[in-house]
Structure 1
Amino acid sequence: MGWRTIYITQKAKLSYKANHLLIQTNMDIKQIPFHQINCIIIATTQSVITGYLISKLVTENIKVIFCAEDHNPCAELNGYYNNIQRNQNIENQVSWSLPTKQDLWTRVVKNKLQNQRSVLVRADLSPSFLDNEYRFIQENDSSNREAVIARKYFLALFNENFSRGKDTKINAMLNYGYTILLSATNQEIIAQGYLTQLGIHHHSLKNCFNLSSDLMEPFRPFVDDKVFQKSDYNFDEYMKLELVDILNQEISYGSKTFILKNALSQYIRDCISYLDSNQEVEIKKVGFKDEE
């Protein structure tokens, strides 16, 4: 099985040539050997793919994920006879133990709060209220410190009249950035052969992305930090590009530096391995690069 995830983000024609994926754009033509490819994510509705390539990808058991206009996955290509690995992954996911899910959620919440603290410090704001609440976090965050801190955190970061429920420029920026993160998280989870619907903490029947909503939490503060820095800007195309570019921001994961999208991919892989193996895999800390 290959190791590369191929992201198609611009208008392109995808076709087959001599056991290679052929990607033709207005600028150039690239060829990628099938044996290197694990998954192809077509993240734009401006691309086309030939029927012959589809049949070859199915034969080689290469996953293909199609995204809608909002960049969230809307469908995937599955052959009739070669989806054993994905079936096994889903069976594992359904069998994840409750204690392991709760332990991972505790780690996720703590990492998120640590990054929220970093955002406050970077903004020259006092994190004392967060430090006080952090001391009372319980297993599975059963006392819901995350929600308590979130209310105080956004008031401190933006202003005392701020509310996440209001139709404001700041909220539009935050929501757009979070949507970009959610989309990237959805793509990674599906690329690894798991269901986004089955979460470890979020369990809404109306949310198709419960697991994504869980695992993206430590990455939300990177959006908060960007929006705080750009809070005086208009929410226009420039600002949208700035928020999309968060995926290319350098951050730390453990002792190493990654661009955020690659850190997200490794983090999700580690979290899923942690759940599959009953806590036998190390979950490293996601953080701002300048805190290494």
Structure 2
Amino acid sequence: MGWKTIFISSKSKLSYKANHLLIQTATEVKTIPFHQIGCIMISTTQTVITSYLIAKLMEQDIKVIFCDNEHDPCSELTPYYSNLKRNQNIEKQISWSISKKEQLWTEIVTNKIENQIKIMKIFNLNTSEVVEELNQLEENDHSNREAIIAMKYFPAIFGNNFTRGNHDEITNVMLNYGYTVLLSTINQEIASQGYLTQLGIHHHSLQNDFNLSSDLMEPFRQFFDLEVLKIRDEEFNLDNKLRLIDVLNHEIKYDGKNYLIRNAITKHIQYCFKFMDSKKDNFVKVGIPDEV
């Protein structure tokens, strides 16, 4: 899988040429080899894309994300047949035990909350209440410490009057954009490894096609929180959207090695599946760097 996210923001035609993406605009023609591309984000409704290119992109397991009139991600394309063991993996996924699901969800929630605490400490914020809530976390988070801590965490880092419920507030717009980019990346990885995004370990909404993605993405949300903290007082223009997309190219330490976040996501999902399949006994935590 490639490493580049191709961001299409102006009127153009996208087509296929000799295993390359061909981008034609009014002033120039560019070609990009498929092996370099991990994702194509089409941020304008004035772009035309050929069906032959779409078929070729799906063969190479290259994600395509479409944006609406507000330039916000609204849908994506993923291939039907991205893994030779897909049927076998889906059968395993359906048979995952409740106890295993609860164990993994407990680890994921703990990791997420620890990352939130780390961010608060970086900005010298009082973490005592959040730490107290974390100490009360039960198996499978039956008492919903995750939601209680979220109501303390977001106002702490973004201001006392901030709530996640105000979808028109610019900080929430930025967060939602970043989380959508992250969700799309998680979807791509789950599909490429031959599992269903619909069957979650904790999320079970009948209206959510990405229940498993919503579960596994949680320890990575905080990297986008950090980036939004840097840009929240600025206009949410193309440059800042690109900054949020580029979060996936930030380097972190995972399982004792340095990875780009997009590659750490691949490892994280592999490890989660090995844990669920009883091929791995421990959960590898996603950590926030000491310096941001």
TM-score range, shorter chain: 0.7 to 0.9
The CA distance in 2 between the partners of 1:24 and 1:94, in whole Å, is 40
Q: Displacement of 1:142 after TM fit? A: 1.0
Residue 224 of structure 2 corresponds to residue 223 of structure 1: yes
The CA distance in 2 between the partners of 1:151 and 1:168, in whole Å, is 16
The CA distance in 1 between the partners of 2:124 and 2:40, in whole Å, is 41
Matched residue of 2:253: which SS? strand
Residues 15 and 49 of structure 1 are in contact (CA less than 8 Å); yes or no, is this contact kept in structure 2?
Answer: no
The CA distance in 2 between the partners of 1:43 and 1:236, in whole Å, is 15
Alignment of 1:159-198 (within 5 A): 159-166=159-166, 167-198=168-199
Q: Partner residue of 1:203? A: 204
Residue 140 of structure 2 corresponds to residue 140 of structure 1: yes
1:93 and 1:218, CA in 2 relative to 1: closer, same or farther beyond 3 A?
A: same
More deviation in 155-164 or 66-75?
A: 66-75
Q: Displacement of 1:115 after TM fit? A: 0.6
Q: Displacement of 1:201 after TM fit? A: 0.3
The CA distance in 2 between the partners of 1:8 and 1:266, in whole Å, is 19
1:162 and 1:65, CA in 2 relative to 1: closer, same or farther beyond 3 A?
A: closer
Q: Displacement of 1:74 after TM fit? A: 3.3
Residues 177 and 244 of structure 1 are in contact (CA less than 8 Å); yes or no, is this contact kept in structure 2?
Answer: yes
Scaled by the length of structure 1, the TM-score of the pair is 0.80
Q: Partner residue of 1:260? A: 261
Aligned Cα root-mean-square deviation (Å): 3.0
Matched residue of 2:287: which SS? strand
Render the CA deviation track for 1:224-268: whole Å, top value 9, x for unaligned: 111122232222222212211111111221211211111111111
The CA distance in 2 between the partners of 1:121 and 1:233, in whole Å, is 24
1:285 and 1:202, CA in 2 relative to 1: closer, same or farther beyond 3 A?
A: same
What is the letter of the counterpart of residue 153 of structure 1? Y
Q: Percent identity?
A: 41
Render the CA deviation track for 1:63-102: whole Å, top value 9, x for unaligned: 5665444375335244xxx976211111111111111111
Residues 275 and 282 of structure 2 are in contact (CA less than 8 Å); yes or no, is this contact kept in structure 1?
Answer: yes
Give unpaired runs (5+ residues) of structure 2. 9-13, 24-28, 68-72
What is the letter of the counterpart of residue 94 of structure 2? V
Residues 72 and 187 of structure 1 are in contact (CA less than 8 Å); yes or no, is this contact kept in structure 2?
Answer: no
The CA distance in 2 between the partners of 1:160 and 1:40, in whole Å, is 38
1:147 and 1:259, CA in 2 relative to 1: closer, same or farther beyond 3 A?
A: same
Q: Partner residue of 2:106? A: 106
Q: Partner residue of 2:26? A: none
Alignment coverage as a number of residue pairs: 270
Residue 6 of structure 2 corresponds to residue 9 of structure 1: yes
Residues 72 and 186 of structure 1 are in contact (CA less than 8 Å); yes or no, is this contact kept in structure 2?
Answer: no
Residues 202 and 210 of structure 1 are in contact (CA less than 8 Å); yes or no, is this contact kept in structure 2?
Answer: yes
Residues 122 and 290 of structure 2 are in contact (CA less than 8 Å); yes or no, is this contact kept in structure 1?
Answer: no
Render the CA deviation track for 1:150-192: whole Å, top value 9, x for unaligned: 0011111122221111121111111111111111111111111
Q: Displacement of 1:120 after TM fit? A: 0.6
The CA distance in 2 between the partners of 1:83 and 1:266, in whole Å, is 16
Q: Partner residue of 1:115? A: 115
The CA distance in 2 between the partners of 1:148 and 1:263, in whole Å, is 28
Scaled by the length of structure 2, the TM-score of the pair is 0.80
Q: Partner residue of 1:248? A: 249
Q: Displacement of 1:274 after TM fit? A: 1.4
Residue 129 of structure 2 corresponds to residue 126 of structure 1: no
1:42 and 1:226, CA in 2 relative to 1: closer, same or farther beyond 3 A?
A: closer
What is the letter of the counterpart of residue 160 of structure 2? E
Residues 42 and 64 of structure 1 are in contact (CA less than 8 Å); yes or no, is this contact kept in structure 2?
Answer: yes
Alignment of 1:46-57 (within 5 A): 47-48=49-50, 50=52
Residues 63 and 77 of structure 1 are in contact (CA less than 8 Å); yes or no, is this contact kept in structure 2?
Answer: no
Q: Partner residue of 2:96? A: 96
The CA distance in 1 between the partners of 2:237 and 2:62, in whole Å, is 32
The CA distance in 1 between the partners of 2:65 and 2:83, in whole Å, is 20
The CA distance in 2 between the partners of 1:29 and 1:237, in whole Å, is 21
What is the letter of the counterpart of residue 233 of structure 2? D
Matched residue of 1:289: which SS? coil
Residues 106 and 139 of structure 1 are in contact (CA less than 8 Å); yes or no, is this contact kept in structure 2?
Answer: yes
Matched residue of 1:9: which SS? strand
Matched residue of 2:79: which SS? strand
Residue 233 of structure 2 corresponds to residue 236 of structure 1: no
Residues 40 and 62 of structure 2 are in contact (CA less than 8 Å); yes or no, is this contact kept in structure 1?
Answer: yes
Q: Partner residue of 2:70? A: none
The CA distance in 2 between the partners of 1:24 and 1:72, in whole Å, is 22
Q: Displacement of 1:144 after TM fit? A: 0.8
